[in-house]
Amino acid sequence: MTSMKTTAALLALYAAVEPSAAFMTAPVRTSSATSTSLQQTKDNYEFQRKLLETQFAISGAATVEDHIEEQEQSSTPSIDATAFQNFLDEQEQPSTPIDATAIQNSILRVAASTDRGQYASASQKESVASLVESLESNKPKQTDTFSSSATLPSYLAGTWELTYSTNQLFRSSPFFLAGRSTCKTQAEVDQYNWFCEMHRAALAISTIGVVRQVISRDGKLTNEFEVKVGAVPFVSDFLPFVKYSGGLPLTVDGAIVSTADATPMSMENKDDWQLYMDTVEIKGSNIPILRNLLDGDNSKLKSRDLSKLLEDNVDAYEVPRPVLRTTYVDSALRIVRDEDDNIFIYSRVSDSEEVTDYSNVMADLGVASLLEGFNDAVSKIYL
């Protein structure tokens, strides 16, 4: 077979003897001698062309033009498919792996200094939002250890406490999420947001305690919202002759407990849920007499009965089914977004799926603990 050097030489020869297009097509006036010379040149050209085509036929090309095309194509470097795919895979990976623990610690520092985001400044909220997005873009893959019969995955089941929110803390409750879901227009959303702001302002005298979520494998979500309010906030209101602007160290305690069914949006994605509101009740109240009434089953707000009544009598009414999206979860932290993209960050307390038992809370407005503390600190009388 003709070597590449021979082929190159033959190509050069072909280029040297091939007449230009202008020469071959333009009419030329010549003498008979000149005509004879031109005929000889043309015959020589045809001979050289046939010689080249013979050489190229040996190398596999049918014509001179085919060989030139092959040469042009062969001049382009071939691409190794495996190497190219490896390159693409490298581009999909973050240039520098994130330190999830450091990011979470930064979020928790802001959460701790702002009472779970309630008093966060605009710059602090922006900082946390950026950190949250970093975690969400590097969401680790979790393994579900529950059987296929479980409604929710193992890595979401358990007890979680709310550590940060971009919204009012009570809006993590299924009750308020369902309320938001009834809004159909932006005007209604704005009105609902304003109502929630006024609701919190009206209860500013209260202190929000632990906000807890208990998630069970069978799809039950229980939200426990513990709150404390001064029982006698201003003594002078009750005893005008007492020149004291403060209150007594007695508080009204309780927990607003709401439940809902959490149904995965699909079997392939159990991290996103649709909630179906169930009940709301007050547990662990320390108010005498009222406690007995609140512990009864009749004190529960059964929202499904109310929804059915509205659905049967109001044509435009639709049962609210708010959506919650788990955008990040690991063994310690869980980030959730509602339909307005509000952020709720929870820290795992335990793997327990048992709700809190408030039966041991004494219904005495905290008088017993007050007297016990006074005795330990002042009188020191022990029997």
Q: What is the per-residue DSSP string for 36-99?
A: HHHHHHHHHHHHHHHHHHHHHHHHT-SSHHHHHHHHHHHTSPP--HHHHHHHHHHHHS-SS---
Summarize the confidence of residues 326-334 as an average pLDDT.
96
Summarize the confidence of residues 172-198 as an average pLDDT.
95
* pLDDT for residue 105 is more than 90: yes
- 107 or 55, which is more confident? 107
Helix residue ranges, H only, 174-251: 174-181, 186-202, 235-238
* pLDDT for residue 25 is more than 70: no
67 & 176 share domain: no
Q: Domain tally for the chain? A: 2
Instruction: At 1, list the tokens.
Output: 């077979």
Summarize the confidence of residues 22-39 as an average pLDDT.
46
- 14 or 171, which is more confident? 171
Instruction: At 220, list the tokens.
Output: 């039950």
Residue 96 lies in a domain: no
Residue 88 lies in a domain: no
pLDDT for 12 equals 47
Summarize the confidence of residues 275-303 as an average pLDDT.
90
352 & 308 share domain: yes
* pLDDT for residue 5 is more than 80: no
- Percent of the chain scoring above 90 in pLDDT: 52
295 & 183 share domain: yes
35 & 178 share domain: no
Domain boundary residue, one of 54, 74, 94:
74
**Residue 346 burial class via C-beta count within 10 angstroms: exposed 0-12, middle 13-18, buried 19 and up:** buried
Which pLDDT tens digit goes with each residue over 132-180? 999 999 999 999 999 989 999 999 999 999 999 999 999 999 999 999 9
pLDDT for 314 equals 86
* Residue 27: pLDDT band with limits 50, 70, 90: very low
* Residue 313: pLDDT band with limits 50, 70, 90: confident
pLDDT for 19 equals 45
63 & 137 share domain: no
* Residue 96: pLDDT band with limits 50, 70, 90: low
Q: What is the DSSP string of 144-194?
A: --S-TT-SS-TTT-EEEEEEEESS-GGGGSHHHHHHHHT--SHHHHHHHHH
Residue 79 lies in a domain: no
pTM: 0.71
Could you list the residue range(s) of the whole structural domain that residue 43 is in?
A: 4-74
* pLDDT for residue 31 is more than 60: no
* pLDDT for residue 209 is more than 60: yes
- 43 or 202, which is more confident? 202
The dihedrals phi and psi of 75, each to the nearest 5 degrees, come to -75, -15
* Residue 210: pLDDT band with limits 50, 70, 90: very high
Pairing state between β 301-302 and 323-329? unpaired
Secondary structure (3-state) at 226: strand
* Residue 69: pLDDT band with limits 50, 70, 90: low
* Residue 334: pLDDT band with limits 50, 70, 90: very high
- 382 or 260, which is more confident? 260
Summarize the confidence of residues 31-48 as an average pLDDT.
56
Short-list 4, 1, 3, 13, CA closest to 52: 13
pLDDT for 305 equals 87
* pLDDT for residue 231 is more than 60: yes
* pLDDT for residue 46 is more than 60: yes
Residue 68 lies in a domain: yes
* pLDDT for residue 30 is more than 60: no
Residue 11 lies in a domain: yes
- 296 or 126, which is more confident? 126
- 80-94, 202-216, 219-233: which range is least confident on average? 80-94
DSSP bridge partners of 326: 336
Note whether 329 and 335 are within 8 A (CB). yes
Taking residue 165's Cβ as centre, other Cβ atoms within 10 Å add up to: 22
In the Cβ-directed half-sphere of 353, how many Cα atoms lie within 13 Å? 13
68 & 116 share domain: no
- 226-240, 328-342, 367-381: which range is least confident on average? 226-240
- 119 or 98, which is more confident? 119
Q: Give the chain's length.
A: 383
* Average pLDDT along the chain: 82
Summarize the confidence of residues 325-331 as an average pLDDT.
96
185 & 289 share domain: yes
Summarize the confidence of residues 119-140 as an average pLDDT.
96
Domain boundary residue, one of 34, 59, 74:
74
67 & 125 share domain: no
254 & 290 share domain: yes
